[in-house]
Amino acid sequence: MNITVVGTGYVGLVTGTCFAETGNHVVCVDIDEKKVKRMQSGEIPIYEPGLDLLFERNTRQGRLVFTTDLAEGIKSAEVIFLALPTPPGEDGSADLKYILGVADDISKLIQDYKVIVDKSTVPVGTAEKVHAILARNLSEELFDVVSNPEFLREGVAVDDFMKPDRVVIGTRSERAQKLMKQLYEPFVRQGNPIYFMDERSAEMTKYAANSYLAARISFMNEIANLCELVGANVDAVRVGMGSDSRIGKRFLFPGIGYGGSCFPKDVQALAKTAEDKGYDFKILKAVMNVNKTQKHRLTAKIKAHLGDNLSGKTIALWGLAFKPNTDDIREAPAIYLIEDLLSAGAKIKAFDPEAMKNVQAVFGDGVQMAQDQYEALIGADALAIVTEWSVFRTPSFEVMKQLLKNPVIFDGRNLYDVELMEDKGFYYESIGRNTVG
């Protein structure tokens, strides 16, 4: 099939590459000229494990091409995916200007039947808005609009796309359904379902899924905070409750708040949808409030130990990305911690395997970047662990003790065993477990 993907960010580039991998011809369109030039010359602008191999193969074999020219890009497309940003507007609702703007552009270019697919996370009713915009310039026989929300996770995006738990397709058009089924069938050969539903339900499914996952995180963060107060160990509690098959083991890890480009904005946008309908969605408000506080949890712990004024102190940071295996720092807890520490007068020395460049673009020389995780510790008064990259899981504690000015660790991800840290002679504070040292 001939496919066009408009917007080549984390979702668009993975979508385009994976569709090319199953034999389709894919044109990726982006307005960012620099980015398109880099991709044309074989460079991947984001870090996503496994993407390089597929990108290289499919560009080499001519199934995956890039352009800034929308007219050229959609000329022979049968299906056009919109993988455009939907950032929060000032009132918290998802800003649809990119989606609706491109829909308007497309409406002036289409000559033959095409399916326009909302791949972005968009509020309920967006497919109808896109339809209305297209219908201003096009006869109804020339297009269908489909809502096909994306559930991939950054860091495992290629695996998630190639083997999705499910595919959700929102459309009432049989013609579009058939095309979408044909396109997705190679990805669900193991029997995972393709669910067909109406557009509004598909749009709601994505928000409901992300909001529920965010709620699980905030719930566990509150359980962890309470564990600290009552002397329970949240790790034990987590496995104890997670083994109940009604609850499940995954997504129960407490930490220092959810971040990334999706959960914060999607929870906020769903809350706004509820508000617009006059519905008081109390749980969502609590989820957001808990998260806001939790993102400052390490700061509170650091200040309680080292004092409110951190001038003259150096804090080492391990991890900057909002989660491991990505370079994405949007809404990352590290950003909040860095702001807190800088405004308390601290110096920061940080290391992250992939995200240092992106953080440097925000903070410039305000944050000193280290060559590796150990260099970040040299002369630091304490270490704060922010992202659970595997490389931080089994470090040499002896070397750490030698390099740190004081053997003090604030662990926002509960990477180490509390008793081990006590044996090793560290002052060690984590989330929802007792403090030792």
Contact residues toward ligand NAD (CB under 6 A) are 6-12, 29-32, 35, 83-86, 98, 101-102, 120-121, 150, 152, 154, 261-262
- Phi, psi at 19, each rounded to 5°: -65, -35
Q: Are 100 and 135 in contact (CB under 8 A)?
A: no
CB of 11 to ligand NAD, least distance (A): 4
The nearer residue to ligand NAD, 269 or 404, going by C-beta atoms, is: 269
Nearer to ligand NAD, 73 or 255 (CB): 73
Q: Which of 30, 26, 18, 148 is nearest to 84 (CA)?
A: 30
CA-to-CA distance for 173 and 9, rounded, in angstroms? 28
Phi, psi of 423, rounded to the nearest 5 degrees:
-60, -40
Looking at the Cβ atoms of 31 and 241, the one nearer to ligand NAD is 31
Closest approach, Cβ 100 to ligand NAD, in A, equals 10
Tell me, yes or no, if 227 is annotated catalytic: no
Place of tokens 């385009």: 16
Q: Considering the complex, state which of residue 84 and residue 421 has its C-beta at the smaller distance from ligand NAD.
A: 84
Q: How far apart are the C-alpha atoms of 77 and 224, rounded to whole Å? A: 50
Minimum distance from residue 242 beta carbon to ligand NAD (Å): 24
**Contact indicator for 150, 124 with CB cutoff of 8 Å:** no
Single-letter code of the amino acid located at 431? I
With respect to ligand NAD, which residue has the nearer C-beta, 83 or 298?
Answer: 83
Catalytic residue among 18, 28, 227, 262: 262
Q: Which is nearer to ligand NAD, 150 or 429 (CB)?
A: 150
The one-letter code for the residue type at 330 is R
- The CA distance from 381 to 408, in Å, is 7
> Closest distance between ligand NAD and the C-beta of residue 384, in Å?
25
Tokens matching residue 39 = 């991709």
By beta carbon distance, the residue nearest ligand NAD is 9
Gyration radius of the chain over CA positions = 23
**Cβ closer to ligand NAD: 29 or 415?**
29
Q: Least distance (Å) from ligand NAD to the CB of residue 361?
A: 14
To ligand NAD, the closest distance from the beta carbon of 194 in angstroms equals 17
User: CB 215 → ligand NAD: shortest distance, Å?
Assistant: 18
Which residues does the annotation mark as catalytic?
262
